[in-house]
A and B are shown apart, each in its own frame.
Chain A
Amino acid sequence: LAKTTQPISMDSYEGQEVNITCSHNNIATNDYITWYQQFPSQGPRFIIQGYKTKVTNEVASLFIPADRKSSTLSLPRVSLSDTAVYYCLVGDQSWYSSASKIIFGSGTRLSIRP
């Protein structure tokens, strides 16, 4: 399982773009990169997933360079409600995979100020 490293905490202001980078130097060929968001007193929820290049949805964008050893979650024009912990996970999502262990790291605590 590829281990991930991300900043412990980040601060930003409303209306700014926030980029959270995750390092995963030992990512395997079949591994996908997935980001989750967790609000206080709630379980994490899926934000975005990607394999290479760029993925965008209504919430965020995920940038993955060619070597896939890192990824960047981009949150456009954040608001106070984006204050949460963000987790970067790397693992095999293949239907054929028997390794269904999914490990969360410590995450990045993002604080948005007015």
Chain B
Amino acid sequence: NAGVTQTPKFQVLKTGQSMTLQCAQDMNHNSMYWYRQDPGMGLRLIYYSASEGTTDKGEVPNGYNVSRLNKREFSLRLESAAPSQTSVYFCASRADTDRVDTGELFFGEGSRLTVL
């Protein structure tokens, strides 16, 4: 199993450009999450999705949009990138299937975004 896969791993954008970060999990989990982590800081929740077709705002949703395309995929879109969005973005899925919820999060390797 690949677990949680994020693409791209690195990206440099200019202010005002748009891009989408892709995330896919192959563990049949219901819930998925997007976090950002600035240098030396903890993780902050951007958006999460408790199930296919539903999304909810986290702590810092402004400037982002998300799409839960299907059970496997949860994408994060920056419509007009700003330097303040320079960060490492982590996608995670939660070990909650239709039968059990251990609450454990599985993280991807991260996507390092720089906005100039």
Contacts and interface: CB of A to CB of B under 8 A. Distances in A.
Interface in B85-116: 90, 92, 94, 96, 99-110
Given A102-B45, A104-B43, A42 B101 contact: no
Contacts of A81: none
Interface stretch (A18-26, A53-61, A62-70, A93-101): A93-101
Contact of B44 (A36, A42, A100, A104): A104
A46 B105 contact: yes
Say which size band chain B's interface belongs to: 20 to 34
Contact of B45 (A49, A85, A104): A104
Contact of A100 (B4, B42, B94, B110): B94
Interface of A: 32, 34, 36, 41-46, 49, 85, 87, 91, 93-95, 97-98, 100-107
Interface of B: 4, 31, 33, 35, 41-45, 48, 50, 56, 58-59, 90, 92, 94, 96, 99-110
